[in-house]
Chain A
């Protein structure tokens, strides 16, 4: 009841200033990546002349739900949610659907994706793409180096209980299962928990055990950088080994510029933000979008890396 009254109070404040379309946005938290996404929403909304009210749920699903209720009570035209808990989205979908207000999930895939109502959708990047793009490019580079008749690769996994780590590792296996890349063989596969120094230690252990490989495929850039440090310290030439990561962090791009890192993958946070605003506007005009609007992952290589400098 209290929350409801608060919502009404809010709506009174809001509607007075809302002549243009209004979108309520609830972000899970604001880390490096989500801050770029948030700014993507704000900048694009400004461009489109839409008013946005952005709230942050501080990783609290209950707080997020009440933020959505407040948005509904204040009569926004659409809601964008970056879910705190992707398993708790059914309740969010229901209250928005009951109120007849369009809802867009952004970045994190809701668990109820397949049963989303017509005026709700998910804007994000398909996690399957990141590991696939990375591994395919590693495969291509290995062929280019004339290793197409047999190449050993080592795999650095992220935290074992993490969805992205599992998916990206699965992607590597899936790409190797295809005919074009079946010449690649995984000789070692271990976790370094996303961390740089843990990857350095792991690579040191492999090198000392005499493991021989032509490529390092890592679930993220940090671990790829750690492996590079170990290989360089051991006197290996980075010309001879293909190293791939995911994230396109500033550190990774610097390593790519130095010729150490060969492949990384960029998740376009700003494009997810603007895509979410676009989707919200379309839904509020009654357009149908389907369950998912994909914002593609982008492959970053030394040829196109300049475009990504300063974006992450």
Chain B
């Protein structure tokens, strides 16, 4: 087990090789630099040297960033989780329905209003963990591919979200619930989650097992890891993080709406992969994913800053995503790592 981690994490001990995250960081600098240049050209103003903008760049991606943290550990095991956006929506609806104020005449549960904030948060997290656990059990014990298991959950959880209030939006949360998403709270929550999972993945048994399962499942099994139990844990945690994202997002907008979280899983996957996590498993880090996430934020804010027409944004975004990964693969190959 120990050998698998060392060979995959960092290269040969003799030459001091830069960590793979360094590439991503350079990519981030290049992209930010381009926007900085275009910013002076279009607006006659600096894009980056504005504290307010830098905080917005991170704020607008931190909800998806929370999902991306869970996604990173799933992808490191060699799996995928397509259900995140739907689980987010499902938990947003369910949590919000227990977070409404009594002054709202159309509360989902008129007798269960003005509850302390811990109730909707606990219920929401519980729902997310359960959804993730179901993913994990399906993947670990029925051996169906993660793509299919989580695709099923994607459709089902979206269905639950729509069924729960028959498509009716859920709004008017208590002040304490709304405060979870106000100001820079989403960034703080993301930061806590990111640091926690950075430590978990890098310095604990949980992390070593995660990399081991993704590098070589057979070897992991032989070395005594209960692979099934570990996969269940990884997917359950990913579900829990999707739920946390759902809670933060619904608190931020102070509403749960039908189309919430649509395509969030794909953005989270893109952030993770841009951040250097390998889709084949065994390689990746939270630092990389965080950088990938910031790249997304920079691009989104940058487009608005230099006034790119909305019709071109998605086209350019797609090209950047693929371009970033192609570049990374190319550089890895140059170093003989793949």
Q: How far is the CA of A18 from the CA of B105 in the complex (A)?
A: 39
Could you give 25 example pairs across A and B, Cβ below 8 Å?
Answer: A32-B167, A32-B169, A157-B310, A160-B311, A188-B307, A189-B310, A190-B304, A195-B260, A196-B257, A197-B253, A201-B59, A202-B304, A205-B53, A205-B56, A205-B304, A208-B53, A208-B301, A209-B304, A209-B305, A225-B255, A229-B253, A233-B182, A249-B169, A250-B106, A251-B171
A206 with B304: CB separation less than 8 A: yes
A208 with B56: CB separation less than 8 A: yes
- Kindly report which residue of chain A lies nearest to residue B47, judged by CB atoms: A209
Which of A209, A226, A233 is close to B43, meaning CB atoms less than 8 Å apart?
A: A209
In the complex, the number of residue pairs spanning A and B with C-beta atoms less than 8 Å apart equals 75
Check: B249 CB closer than 8 A to any chain A CB: yes
In A195-218, the 8 Å CB interface with B consists of 195-197, 200-202, 204-210
Query: A303: which B residues are within 8 A, CB to CB?
Result: none
CB of B289 to closest CB in A, whole Å: 20
Also in contact, A204 and B259, with CB within 8 A (given A196-B253, A209-B304): no
Q: How far is the CA of A35 from the CA of B167 in the complex (A)?
A: 10
Q: How many residues of B contact A (CB 8 A)?
A: 34
CB of B322 to closest CB in A, whole Å: 21
Query: Which of B's residues lie within 8 Å of A, judged by CB?
Result: 43, 45, 50, 52-53, 56, 59-60, 63, 105-106, 166-169, 171-172, 182-183, 249, 252-255, 257, 259-260, 300-301, 304-305, 307, 310-311
CB of A304 to closest CB in B, whole Å: 20
Query: A191: which B residues are within 8 A, CB to CB?
Result: 310
CB of A160 to closest CB in B, whole Å: 6
Check: A254 CB closer than 8 A to any chain B CB: yes
Query: B166: which A residues are within 8 A, CB to CB?
Result: 30, 32, 35
Top 3 closest A-B pairs, CB basis?
A201-B60, A208-B53, A205-B304
Q: How far is the CA of A250 from the CA of B171 in the complex (A)?
A: 9
Query: A47: which B residues are within 8 A, CB to CB?
Result: none
Query: A251: which B residues are within 8 A, CB to CB?
Result: 169, 171-172, 255
Also in contact, A195 and B259, with CB within 8 A (given A190-B304, A205-B304, A208-B50): yes
Also in contact, A226 and B253, with CB within 8 A (given A208-B53, A209-B53, A310-B105): yes
CB of A83 to closest CB in B, whole Å: 19
Check: A31 CB closer than 8 A to any chain B CB: yes
A160 with B305: CB separation less than 8 A: no
Also in contact, A200 and B171, with CB within 8 A (given A205-B305, A206-B304, A209-B304): no
Which of B167, B183, B254, B257 is close to A195, meaning CB atoms less than 8 Å apart?
A: B257
Which of B45, B56, B254, B259 is close to A201, meaning CB atoms less than 8 Å apart?
A: B56
CB of A90 to closest CB in B, whole Å: 29
Also in contact, A222 and B257, with CB within 8 A (given A206-B304, A208-B52, A251-B171): yes
CB of B197 to closest CB in A, whole Å: 23
Query: A222: which B residues are within 8 A, CB to CB?
Result: 255, 257
Which of A208, A233, A251, A310 has most B Cβ within 10 Å?
A208
CB of A222 to closest CB in B, whole Å: 7
Query: A157: which B residues are within 8 A, CB to CB?
Result: 310
Query: B305: which A residues are within 8 A, CB to CB?
Result: 205, 209
Q: How far is the CA of A229 from the CA of B183 in the complex (A)?
A: 10
Check: A194 CB closer than 8 A to any chain B CB: yes
Query: A254: which B residues are within 8 A, CB to CB?
Result: 172
Query: A200: which B residues are within 8 A, CB to CB?
Result: 252-253
Query: A204: which B residues are within 8 A, CB to CB?
Result: 56, 59-60
